[in-house]
Structure 1
Amino acid sequence: MQIQTATLGYPRIGKNREVKKALEAFWSGNLESESLLQTVRKVEESNWKSQLEAGIDHIGIGDTTLYDHVLDWTFRFGLIPERFQQLSGLERYFTMARGKEGIPALEMTKWFDTNYHYLVPEIAEQTLPSDFSDFLERVSRAQKILGKRAIPIVLGPCTLLRLSKLSLNIQQAISKLIPLYINLLTELKNLGVEEVQIHEPALVLGDTNSCKSHFKTVYQSLSLVEIPLHLVTYFDDLGETYPWVMELPVSAISLDFTRGRNLELIKTYGFPANKRLGAGIIDARNIWQIRSEKVIPILQEIVETLHGTSIHIQPSASLQFVPYDAKREKRLPSPLRNVLSFAEQKLQEVVFLARTIIGENTKIEQEIIETSWNKFEEFNPANQSVEERLKTLKTDDFQRSLSYGLRLDSQISLPLFPTTTIGSFPQTSEVRQLRMRYKRGELSQSEYETAIDVQIAESIKLQEELGLDVLVHGEFERTDMVEFFGQQLSGFAFTENGWVQSYGSRYVRPPIIYGDVVRTAPMTVREFKVAQSLTEKPVKGMLTAPVTILNWSYPRIDISRSEQAFQIALALRDEVADLEAAGAKVIQVDEPALREGLPLKVERWNEYLSWAVDAFRLATAIAQPQTQIHTHMCYCEFGDIIKDIERLDADVISIENSRSNNQTLREITEGGYSHQVGNGVYDIHSPVVPTTEQILQQLRTGIANLPVKQIWVNPDCGLKTRRWSEVIPALKNMVEATKVLREEANVTVK
């Protein structure tokens, strides 16, 4: 048996967010394209060297991206929709990602059950010639630095098809892709590459058995190139597909042993003696150090079950889902910092486990791990009051006092097609500087709040001038919709350098839930009261819902996710009560990550949806009937869980709908959704300002799908990433389109 180490991808943003800074400078016209590309090259070469220095034997390379790796492969294979074909180079690439005047971007949605967003490929009959030159250049550079350790990462053809919108049948699409992949593999073989990682996470989806013949056709064709293929799966187990996946003509197969039941499948069906196993034993999606007393026995069981099969010990997936280095977090308490494991620490864990399995003496390292966990547990005792509160919950705590139909008449009176925004307004450099100066101690709390109040006042004045019906305070005090709340709740910790990519140049620092969650004081009431005092129109209280806070954080691993969601819900429940007492007639509790957390296999959905929906209801059910509860969801598919979304019992849901070409709206309609819907009428992730006519067309589509009284009018997401020069005309056009629609409906605006 041969035991070696491997990686499946690495963080690609730069330790100091170099790629983000270069991208945004390029988009603003302050950086040349070659400088942008040079920045990306420096980051990826630094990544390769980190893995080399850690002692990794087989280093996955080629996953660095300017925006999104799925877009990269769409681009390389020439799968360019007709509306982009008149463009070229980076202009074409970034227009596919972000759109431009008259050319809508590709749709964006979540990458499996993660908070990473990818651009949805559109595969049609008419395509352009493939061009792998950038990828081949990257592989050649990696070979000079890493030698034979460099293993190219390629997005698998079946996963690419599964993630795409097809305007031709699946057999035609397969016939189109196979020659392209054969050409790519042939080019890699000519470079002297000895193995290629083919990433096929679609294999873990619950319905992949129906694609069995497609996978067999594809991989039989690719095997003719005679270059060893390493088939990589992650995020769950193979389930029913396991027996036939083992028969595919590949040299190695990677399985995720941190999620699902892959070990059980190996025990039941065996593992091919002529293939190598990639054992994904280090969780690539959490930031906790391994518990050696738990992980080592599992790894030993895998080794014993395989009876001499070669094994690569590796993370369960790409490390793009974790930050670079926990050692940089100097402000975290040492008992917590010492049990954190970011990308560099996970490399060390991979090597440590490999050494342990081959019999090298790692006793001292194991003792250090155990001691770190013991000190952390002493540092982090349970909160008895939270546990007691959870135990005493009653059925009534999860339901509004009146049903939706009965409470509507008691809620605020608004004109037909009420207009609003999702919550946030542009985070200008002035606003960011305010927060930074306050954080550095250059502004007192009073000075900071006064400056924030000026921003709030200007935004309220602007919204009134534009003619919006339900206003927001703008969220100028918030860096991030999850971070803001976590910073005010006990049980959360925050990093200084813990950035991960959400999409493009949008990076987030997920909070770390390390202890019981408790709200110690109101979190949003002051800013709400300031905003509401400035207008007679209703201002929304703005909260982030419990499951989104959970799914966009790194959760604890010692208690269930459901218990953590309920703890957060109790904190938010108290905030809802305080906002209501402060005069809030409308409270928005955003839950965009509800769908994201859905298990990849349908048989596990009910359990998740049961507690996830209950967590939202626990947070909001305390509201009186006259208080209108809103929620917001975006960039995911709703159709298959629409009844569960309705069970949230929000009075209004606002949705992303512009990039999905009204698919989300149709799913809601076909699902028989009976509550009010804010039809996202324009794409806020594009700098393009929509015209009044474009918004009017979107609204008319809404009327064709929903009863008039159910329809609200809003952008498809928050506006924090946009500039005021884009936001003001877009909202003006949105209001003008709404006026036209009201006139057509013969309704007088109040």
Structure 2
Amino acid sequence: MNTLLPTSIAGSLPKPAWLAQPETLWSPWKLQGAELVEGKQDALRLALQNQRQSGIDIISDGEQSRQHFVTTFIEQLNGVDFKKRKTVKIRNRYEASVPMVVDEVTRPSSVFVEDAKFLRKLTKQPIKWALPGPMTMVDTLFDDHYKNRGALAWEFAKLLNQEAKELEAAGVDIIQFDEPAFNVFFDEVNDWGIAALERAAEGLKCETAVHICYGYGIKANTDWKKTLGSEWRQYEDVFPKLQSSTIDIVSLECQNSRVPMDLIELIRGKKVMVGAIDVATNSIETPEEVADTLRKVLQFVDADKLYPSTNCGMTPLSRTVAEGKMQALSAGAAIVRGELG
């Protein structure tokens, strides 16, 4: 990455109204068959254009071709039955009806590789692709086969590794694993979560990232945040082991959060994708607010390792707000770039 403070978004962007219901998480598609394939590609082109016009340096697909950041990948695997469902508590916060693992999990074919090739053809800028992390996948299912969270995570890690290697071959520059579960199950993260994450990233030559956030701006998450007190120290439990892991970049949430900035010292040496945009509000940050967050983080991260980003995905926001937030991120990064000379 030649640009100092290269900007990117954590994951999703709002989908156009003709493709899915706006401002709605996991909305069903409005198109079918060949029209849906074409519609997703059109949405991907728009997401690219929006990022470019907003000054974003590292381009993502905005998750335009997937309904959900976890289940869209799982739907393509064998061994998971979406008709057999059970209600479980996800990340110890909210109840959801989830599919069941009924047999050995396998990946019959690529899931996102064609989409990644399509995006790669459209731009010369670096591209980042998000995959669900093994622990977050386990936490989004009812396991009736392995009956052991660590064992299931390890199997998922092997399948993610196959996918990641194909994405790398398709020209993806950064592969990001989304692990919001890392902010909840601390003992498991240290027992097997980071090992499973490293297995998912094994042998990759492109850069790897892990995204650990406090979630979308949905009620279950904002209510949970209210119970966390004046300091959110969840990262403290997982950063020491992540610091010594093989993962290159750690993506975390800073804007309007109560994360004490000095916790970032625990991952000194890693590249840090710092969330300088709050995705749980419709108010658009000023470039100066973004710059202020980045200046604070620079006490704990070397400038050449700082990647300004958003706290989490922006699917639930309106397109206007999401674009405004991306522009603020770019403008804020530009201010600090100027100061660093």
TM-score by length of 2: 0.85
The answer to whether the 8 A contact 1:576-1:622 is kept is no
Aligned AA (1:587): I
Is 1:705 equivalent to 2:293 in the alignment?
A: no
What does 1:149-188 align with in structure 2 at a 5 Å threshold?
A: none
Match of 1:616 in 2: 197
For 1:436, which of 12, 18, 29 is the aligned residue? 29
Q: How many Å separate the matches in 1 of 2:135 and 2:85? A: 24
Shift of 1:643: 1.6
**What are the Cα deviations for residues 121-152 of structure 1, in whole angstroms up to 9, with x where unaligned?**
xxxxxxxxxxxxxxxxxxxxxxxxxxxxxxxx
For 1:657, which of 243, 254, 266 is the aligned residue? 254
Match of 2:208 in 1: 629
Alpha carbons of structure 1 residues 508 and 418: separation in structure 2 relative to 1, 3 Å = farther
The answer to whether the 8 A contact 1:514-1:556 is kept is yes
Shift of 1:482: 1.3
Shift of 1:557: 6.2
Is 1:731 equivalent to 2:316 in the alignment?
A: no
Alpha carbons of structure 1 residues 709 and 491: separation in structure 2 relative to 1, 3 Å = same
**What are the Cα deviations for residues 233-266 of structure 1, in whole angstroms up to 9, with x where unaligned?**
xxxxxxxxxxxxxxxxxxxxxxxxxxxxxxxxxx
Shift of 1:507: 7.7
The answer to whether the 8 A contact 2:84-2:100 is kept is no
What does 1:89-238 align with in structure 2 at a 5 Å threshold?
A: none
For 1:424, which of 5, 12, 19 is the aligned residue? 12
Shift of 1:578: 0.6
Which structure features the higher share of helix residues? 1
Shift of 1:414: 2.7
Shift of 1:646: 2.1
What does 1:483-494 align with in structure 2 at a 5 Å threshold?
A: 483-494=71-82
Q: How many Å separate the matches in 2 of 1:713 and 1:632? A: 13
Aligned AA (1:666): D
Alpha carbons of structure 1 residues 509 and 415: separation in structure 2 relative to 1, 3 Å = farther
Alpha carbons of structure 1 residues 672 and 589: separation in structure 2 relative to 1, 3 Å = closer
Alpha carbons of structure 1 residues 589 and 523: separation in structure 2 relative to 1, 3 Å = same
Is 1:582 equivalent to 2:161 in the alignment?
A: no
Aligned AA (1:652): I
Q: How many Å separate the matches in 2 of 1:581 and 1:486? A: 21
Which structure features the higher share of strand residues? 2
**Higher RCO (C-alpha under 8 Å, 6+ residues apart):** 2
Alpha carbons of structure 1 residues 508 and 734: separation in structure 2 relative to 1, 3 Å = farther
Aligned AA (2:255): S
Q: How many Å separate the matches in 2 of 1:597 and 1:467? A: 36
Match of 2:136 in 1: 548
Match of 2:24 in 1: none
Aligned AA (2:203): I
For 1:689, which of 284, 294, 309 is the aligned residue? 284
The answer to whether the 8 A contact 1:689-1:726 is kept is yes
Is 1:450 equivalent to 2:31 in the alignment?
A: no
SS in 1 for 2:290: helix
Aligned residues: CA RMSD: 2.5
Q: How many Å separate the matches in 2 of 1:507 and 1:674? A: 38
The answer to whether the 8 A contact 1:524-1:541 is kept is no
The answer to whether the 8 A contact 2:290-2:332 is kept is yes
Is 1:482 equivalent to 2:61 in the alignment?
A: no
What does 1:62-461 align with in structure 2 at a 5 Å threshold?
A: 413-432=1-20, 435-438=28-31, 443-444=32-33, 446-461=34-49
Q: How many Å separate the matches in 2 of 1:647 and 1:519? A: 30
The answer to whether the 8 A contact 1:456-1:476 is kept is yes
SS in 1 for 2:176: strand
Q: How many Å separate the matches in 2 of 1:435 and 1:526? A: 21
Q: How many Å separate the matches in 1 of 2:148 and 2:259? A: 36
Match of 2:314 in 1: 719
Q: Which is greater in Rg?
A: 1
Aligned AA (1:610): D
Any gaps of 5 or more consecutive residues in structure 1? 1-412, 599-604
The answer to whether the 8 A contact 1:532-1:539 is kept is yes
Shift of 1:436: 3.3
SS in 1 for 2:116: helix
SS in 1 for 2:19: helix
Shift of 1:594: 2.1
SS in 2 for 1:432: coil
Match of 1:344 in 2: none
Shift of 1:472: 0.5
Is 1:532 equivalent to 2:120 in the alignment?
A: yes
Alpha carbons of structure 1 residues 430 and 508: separation in structure 2 relative to 1, 3 Å = farther
Shift of 1:614: 1.3
The answer to whether the 8 A contact 2:104-2:145 is kept is no
Q: How many Å separate the matches in 2 of 1:713 and 1:693? A: 14
Is 1:573 equivalent to 2:161 in the alignment?
A: yes
Shift of 1:707: 1.7
Match of 1:740 in 2: 335
Identity among equivalent positions (%) equals 23
Alpha carbons of structure 1 residues 430 and 501: separation in structure 2 relative to 1, 3 Å = farther
Shift of 1:546: 0.8
Any gaps of 5 or more consecutive residues in structure 2? 22-26, 215-231
Q: How many Å separate the matches in 2 of 1:480 and 1:496? A: 19
SS in 2 for 1:448: helix
Q: How many Å separate the matches in 2 of 1:515 and 1:497? A: 14
For 1:640, which of 230, 237, 242 is the aligned residue? 237
Aligned AA (1:737): G
Alpha carbons of structure 1 residues 639 and 543: separation in structure 2 relative to 1, 3 Å = same
Alpha carbons of structure 1 residues 459 and 427: separation in structure 2 relative to 1, 3 Å = closer
Shift of 1:661: 3.2
Q: How many Å separate the matches in 2 of 1:420 and 1:714? A: 5
Alpha carbons of structure 1 residues 699 and 561: separation in structure 2 relative to 1, 3 Å = same
TM-score by length of 1: 0.40
SS in 2 for 1:431: coil
Aligned AA (2:332): A
